[in-house]
Amino acid sequence: MDNEIKTEEIKPEIHPYVPQHKPEPEEPSKGSALWDFIKFAAITLAITIPFRMYVAQPFVVSGESMDSTFADGQYLYVDELSYRFEKPIRGEVIIFKFPSNTSRDLIKRVVGLPGETVELKKDSVTIYNKEYPQGLVLDEPYVTHKSESYEAKKTVLADDEYYVLGDNRPVSYDSRGWGPLKAQFIIGRPFVRLLPVSSISLFPGEYTDY
């Protein structure tokens, strides 16, 4: 008789399923929420304050001295960084501290550069420098409101001085009235015009085709 081999079926042990409950997340305490807010505020200030002080800041145009390039109430952001590495050039629009009252910020256009002589005569502006010893009469397409006649004068600029004028010459109070602008008062140049939306642009108002 053949040996009979028996096999036994091994049944897996079945354990009853016991659902595990995850602990409910604890609600942050009021003290923890306040601390998170303080950290967020500190980080925000640490980023925005240096940005506003050294990189860019908002500026709202006030008055009509730059019509029609810039209108009253337009909202600009001012690039404060570029002039730390380069100097303003003719035709650029700049924002600066008013030398007679540094609590006021003004916006004008650079016409004369350090070391040059600026001559106003009739309705023209003439620049004298090494490149143009006989004089260069500026073409100023950005000036839509010209003075009928400038008071004839010549101004010799020092090595740290600029001659600035408003585009709306009949109403602008500028270097014609209070003299050359020292470089130390320059804040920066308009980087972007945000408002009104229809006038959004980068480096608005610049004209450097001289």
SS3 of the chain: CCCCCCCCCCCCCCCCCCCCCCCCCCCCCHHHHHHHHHHHHHHHHHHHHHHHHHCEEEEECCCCCCCCCCCCCCEEEEECCHHHCCCCCCCCEEEEEECCEEEEEEEEEEEECCCCEEEEEECEEEEECCCCCCCEECCCCCCCECCCCEEEEEEECCCCEEEEECCECCCCCCHHHHCCEEHHHEEEEEEEEEECHHHCEECCCCCCCC
pTM score: 0.72
- Which distant-in-sequence residues (6+ apart) come within 8 Å of 198 by Cβ? none
The full set of domain ranges for the chain reads 83-189
Residue 125 pairs in a beta bridge with 120
Q: Could you confirm whether 108 is annotated as catalytic?
A: yes
The answer to whether 188 and 85 are in contact (CB under 8 A) is no
Q: Give the range with max mean pLDDT: 84-98, 138-152, 194-208.
A: 84-98
Preceding peptide of 68 cis, ω within 30°: yes
Active-site entry in 108, 121, 147, 182: 108
Active-site entry in 65, 82, 121, 154: 65
Q: Could you confirm whether 198 is annotated as catalytic?
A: no
- The pLDDT of residue 154 is 94
User: Is pLDDT of 5 > 70?
Assistant: no
Q: Look up the CATH number of domain 83-189.
A: 2.10.109.10
- The pLDDT of residue 47 is 42
pLDDT band for position 19 (50/70/90)? low
The lowest-confidence range among 83-87, 91-95, 194-198 is 194-198
Task: Kindly report, residue by residue over 159-168, the tens digit of the pLDDT.
Answer: 999 999 999 9
The lowest-confidence range among 25-29, 63-67, 100-104, 159-163 is 25-29
The answer to whether 78 and 187 are in contact (CB under 8 A) is yes
- The pLDDT of residue 114 is 98
